[in-house]
Every structure is written in C-alpha cells, then in structure tokens.
Amino acid sequence: MRYILLRKLEPMSRTGYNNLMKELTQLETVELPEVLKNVAEARELGDLKENGAYIYGRERQGHIVGRIGELKGKLNRAEIVDCTKVECDKARFGTVVTLLDLDTQKKIIYQLLGPDDADFDTGSISIYSPIGNAILGCSVGDKISVELPRGVRNLQVTDIARSLVD
C-alpha cells in the first residue's frame, strides 16, 4: 500500500517567489561554496576541537544548509498568484484593501499577501495575521472587530483594488 502525502499550496506573489529564488541562488552559488572552502582551509590547520575557524565554519554551514532546505520547501509549496489580475469583489490574497478605523477615523491601506511576502513597512500584511485573517473574504462596506494584543480594533472595508505590482 502506498501513501501519498498531499501538501497544501501556499499563495505567493511573483515578487515574493522571485525574492526567495534570489536568496536561494545566493546561498547555493556564493555563500555555501565560500563556507565550504573556509571549513576545508580551517581543517588543514589541525586540532579541530580547539579550532575556532573550523567550529564557526561548520556552524555557519549548518545554518546555510538549513535555510536552503527551508527555501526549497517554501518554493515547492508556492502557488504563484498574479496580484494584478485578482478579482476584487472580496478581500483575497493579492488585493489592496482600504480600511477605515472606526475608532480614530483614520484610513489604513494594506495589501494582503503571504507570510513570506508581507512587509508592514511597505503596507503589506500576511493573510494569517490577525487583521489580514479578519478582512479575508470581506466585501466593501463590511465592518469587523479584530482582537489584537493592544486591544480591539473596529474597522470597515471601504475599498478593494488590484495591486499595481505583481
């Protein structure tokens, strides 16, 4: 009897995918070979137990190999979404959602992305964050209350648009 392990695909923007590919290429073609060379040179110095360069190099090698494995896993599970072509009838991955904070009357704009794409400084949040998860599936006019560590935020969706960047 054979068992097949099904992995859930994770949505990712083309930009996020390209960024992870760039990091993977850098690690595999530049950083790992450099660390392997440094470890080999340190090994030639003898007494590996007290050889700081060797010990550090092996630790660094382990971190790089671990990160390479993590990146390959994320890229294999990635479902690339063209954020410039998503439907805007509801808040979904890739959409740019404008919210009104009902308590402060301030306008907030977020793009809903995956955890590897999200960057709060550029206005993108993860669909798994408290606010991202709460607005996912909402339509214009919907009101939501989000429980955050610093208290409840009352928000209203005022606009949903496509991203200008993939």
CA gap 132, 5 in Å, rounded: 29
Using the structure block, give the residue that is written with the tokens 């479902």: 79
pLDDT of residue 48: 67
- Share above pLDDT 90 across residues of the chain, in percent, rounded to a whole number: 75
Nearest to 94 by CA among 78, 110, 106, 108: 110
C-alpha–C-alpha distance, residues 152 and 132, integer Å: 14
- Same domain as 100, residue 67: no
pLDDT in tens, 42-76: 888 776 677 788 888 999 999 999 999 999 999 99
Q: Domain range spanning residue 29?
A: 10-80
Looking at residue 5, its pLDDT comes to: 57
- Nearest by Cα to 16 from 164, 115, 122, 133: 115
Instruction: Please give the residue that has the higher pLDDT: either 2 or 156.
Output: 156
- What CA–CA distance (Å, rounded) separates 112 from 62? 33
| Number of independent structural domains in the chain | 2
pLDDT 10s digits, 101-147 = 999 999 999 999 999 888 888 899 999 999 999 999 999 999 999 99
Q: 49-71 in b/e burial notation, b at 16+ Cβ within 10 A?
A: eebeebeebbebbeebeeebeeb
Of all residues in the chain, what percent carry a pLDDT higher than 70? 94
3-class DSSP assignment, residue 147: strand
DSSP string, 45-78: TS-GGG-HHHHHHHHHHHHHHHHHHHHHHHHHTE
Q: Is residue 3 part of a domain?
A: no
Three-class secondary structure of residue 11 per DSSP: strand
CATH number for the domain including 123? Answer: 3.10.50.30
Write down which residue in 80, 101, 117 finishes a domain.
80
pLDDT value at residue 28: 97
Q: 52-76 and 14-26 are packed helices; what angle lies between their axes, rounded to 10 degrees?
A: 150
